[in-house]
Amino acid sequence: MTGSYDASKIVDAPVFHDLARSLGTLTWGTWDHSKRTFEERRSDFIAAHPPEDPLRYTESGMRQVEPGSNEFAPPTPEARIERLRLPTFESGSIHELLARFGLRLIDGPPVETWQDSSERVEHAHRRELAKRRNSKLRVLHGQADIEAKNMDAAKAEYIEREEKKRAAREVRDALRAMRNELKNEARRDEE
């Protein structure tokens, strides 16, 4: 496959930073809020989607075998390349892949088309996303992995539980050491 994009035309796109943050590509880690530099994100993108074959490391999505059917199959390589070259922010296009890293091409489609898209997803703050997810889990399963209402009490309970585990381990180790010592004394007495 010939080059699908010119890596020198990649620029930073602050409009996509919320998307990149929600996908974990904008920052160094989950709890680190400082942004990685443009150059680091650009080099990561180029490593993940090399210009000579941007689809090399990606899995293909599924497509319906026939419209309206419940049968799905992987798309053909030609269909994947065609989708990659779409001049939109549709899933699988080079512009959408760049947006995941908070980047865009200088000569790409206008960002307004993405902002005005009816399919655009609003990326809320992580805490809000977790609250929504937990409420959906409660509806589905009757429970969710939520924070305790009183975090100080929960932390104190956790520390107490860990201290009890540590104390139990120390007691077991001390008993084991005493038994070994008694066995060694019994052997010396027999000699």
pLDDT along the chain (191 residues), means of 10: 78 90 83 86 93 85 78 84 87 89 91 60 66 72 62 82 92 94 90 77
- How much is the pLDDT for 120? 52
Structural domain boundaries of the chain?
7-115, 122-146, 149-191
User: How many angstroms separate the Cα of 8 from the Cα of each of 5, 45, 107, 115, 174?
Assistant: 9, 12, 11, 24, 66
Please list, residue by residue across 82-99, b when 16 or more beta carbons sit within 10 angstroms of its beta carbon and e when fewer do: ebbeeeebeebbbbbbbb
- CA torsion through residues 74, 79, 85, 90, sign: negative
On whether the CB atoms of residues 41 and 20 are closer than 8 A, the answer is: yes
Geometric angle at alpha carbon 32, from 57 and 28, rounded to 5°: 30
- How much is the pLDDT for 58? 83
Name 73's Cβ contacts closer than 8 Å, sequence gap at least 6: 62, 63, 65
Which helix (DSSP H) or strand (DSSP E) does residue 171 occupy?
helix 151-190
Hey, is 169 helix, strand or coil? helix
- How much is the pLDDT for 116? 56
- How much is the pLDDT for 1? 47
Is this structure's pTM higher than 0.85? no
- How much is the pLDDT for 82? 87
